[in-house]
Structure 1
Amino acid sequence: MVGAGVLGLPYAMSQLGWGPGITVMVLSFIITLYTLWQMVEMHESVQGKRFDRYHELGQHAFGEKLGLWIVVPQQLMVQIGTCIVYMITGGKSMQKIYDSLSLGKPTKTTYFIIGFASIHLGLSQFPSLNSIAGISLVAAVMSLSYSTIACGASLHKGVQPAVQYGPRASTTTGNVFNFFSALGDVAFAFAGHNVVLEIQASIPSTPEKPSKKPMWKGVILAYIVVALCYFPVAFIGYWVFGNTVQDNILLSLEKPKWLIVIANAFVLIHVIGSYQVYAMPAFDAIEAGLVKQMKFKPSYFLRAVTRMLIVAFTMLIGIVFPFFGGLLSFFGGFAFAPTTYFIPCIMWLILNKPKRFSLSWFVNWFCIILGVLLMVLAPIGALRNIILQAKGFKFFS
Structure 2
Amino acid sequence: MEMAVDDDGRSRTGTVWTATTHAITAVIGSGVLALPWSVAQMGWIIGPLFLIACAYITYYTAILLCDCYRTPDPVKGRRNYTYMDVIRSCLGPRDVLVCAIAQYAMLWGAMIGYVIVASTSMMSVDRSNCFHYKGHDAHCRASGNLYMIIFGLVEIVLSQFPNLEKITLISVIAAIMSCVYSIVALALSIGKFASHHSVEGSLIGVKVEGANGVPATTKVWHSFQALGNIAFAYTYAMLLIEIQDTLKSPPPENQTMKKASLYAIGITAIFYISLGCFGYAAFGNDAPGNILTGFYEPFWLVDIANVAVLVHLVGAFQVYAQPIYAKYEEYLSKKWPNSAFFHKTYTLPLTKSHSFRFTLCMLLLRTLLVIFTTLIAMLLPFFNAILGLLGSIAFWPLTVYFPVTMYIAQAQIKTGDRKWIVLQALSVVSLIVSVLAAVGSVADIGDRLKHVKLLKAEL
Tell me the TM-score range normalised by the shorter chain: over 0.9
- Partner residue in 1 for 2:11: none
Aligned residue number for residue 56 of structure 1: 85
The one-letter code of the counterpart of 1:89 is V
Q: From the CA coordinates, give the structure whose radius of gyration is larger.
A: 2
Number of the residue aligned with 1:232: 274
Residue range with higher mean Cα deviation, 258-267 or 24-33: 24-33
Partner residue in 2 for 1:74: 102
Aligned residue number for residue 308 of structure 1: 367
- In 2: Cα distance, 1:367 partner to 1:298 partner: 45
Which residue is equivalent to 1:386? 445
Q: Equivalent pairs: percent with the same residue?
A: 30
Shift of 1:215: 1.6
Q: Where do 5+ consecutive residues of structure 1 fail to align? A: none
* Aligned partners of 2:193 and 2:199 also within 8 Å: no
Relative to the length of structure 2, the TM-score reads: 0.82
Q: Which residue of 2 is the match for residue 277 of structure 1?
A: 319
> CA 1:285–1:168 in structure 2 vs 1: closer, same or farther (change >3 Å)?
farther
Which residue, 112, 128, 137 being the options, matches 1:84?
112
Q: Secondary structure at the match of 2:230?
A: helix
Give the equivalent residue in structure 2 for 1:185: 229
- Root mean square deviation of aligned Cα: 2.0
Q: Distance in 1 between matches of 2:259 and 2:29?
A: 20
Q: What whole-Å deviation, never above 9, does each CA across 1:152-193 have from its counterpart, x for those lacking one?
A: 111112266894434255233222222211111011001011
Is 1:131 aligned to 2:131, yes or no?
no
Indicate if the aligned counterparts of 1:14 and 1:168 stay in contact, CA closer than 8 A. Answer: no
- Deviations 1:312-367 (CA, angstroms, capped at 9, x unpaired): 11101100001110100001102343111222112222222323443421221122
Q: Does 1:348 align with 2:389?
A: no
- Structure 2: distance between partners of 1:360 and 1:309: 47
User: Does 2:425 correspond to 1:372?
Assistant: no
Rounded Cα–Cα distance in structure 2 between residues aligned with 1:75 and 1:366 = 23
CA distance, structure 1, for counterparts of residue 49 and residue 267 of structure 2: 19
SS of equivalent to 1:17: helix
**1:243-263: CA deviation from partner (whole Å, max 9, x where unpaired):** 111111111122111110000
Counterpart residue number, 1:36:
62
Correspondence 1:298 to 2:375:
no
* Cross-structure match for 2:296: 254
CA distance in structure 2 between the aligned counterparts of 1:139 and 1:367, rounded to whole angstroms:
32
State the distance in 1 between where 2:95 and 2:200 align: 50
Match of 2:28 in 1: 2
Which residue of 151, 169, 175 maps to 2:186? 151
Structure with bigger helix share is 1
Unaligned runs of 5+ in 2: 1-26, 135-139, 209-213, 345-358
Cα shift readout 1:59-87 (whole Å, capped 9, x = no counterpart): 01221x31321221211111101100001
Give the corresponding residue for 1:27.
Answer: 53
Q: In 2, are the aligned partners of 1:329 and 1:382 still within 8 Å (CA)?
A: yes
Say whether the 8 Å CA contact 1:151–1:236 is kept in structure 2: yes
Structure-1 separation of matches of 2:336 and 2:228 = 35
Which amino acid letter does the alignment assign opposite residue 343 of structure 2?
Answer: P
SS state at 1:158 partner = helix
Match of 2:381 among 322, 336, 358: 322
Is 1:96 matched with 2:124?
yes
Partner of 1:194: 238
Residue identity in the other structure for 2:379: V
Paired residues of 2:201 and 2:280 also in contact (CA < 8 A): no
The Cα offsets for residues 30-86 of structure 1, whole Å up to 9 and x where unpaired, read as 1111100011111123234111210000001221x3132122121111110110000
Equivalent in the alignment of 2:206: 167
Q: Does the CA contact (< 8 Å) of 2:279 and 2:287 recur in 1?
A: yes
Match of 1:11 among 3, 26, 37: 37
Structure 2 residue identity aligned to 1:187:
A
**Alignment check: 8 A CA contact 1:61 1:67 kept:** no
Q: For this pair of structures, how many residues does the alignment match?
A: 394
Aligned twin of 1:142: 177
Shift, 1:107, TM fit: 4.6
2:23 is aligned to none
Partner Cα distance (2:301, 2:378) in 1 = 27
292-301 or 239-248: which moved more? Answer: 292-301
Distance 1:319 1:359, change over 3 A: same
Deviation string, structure 1 residues 186-207 (Cα, Å, up to 9, x no partner): 110010111111111111235x
In structure 2, C-alpha distance between the alignment counterparts of 1:337 and 1:90, rounded to whole Å: 27
Distance 2:428 2:199 in 1: 40
Report the secondary structure of 1:101's partner residue. helix
Is 1:358 the counterpart of 2:423? The answer is no
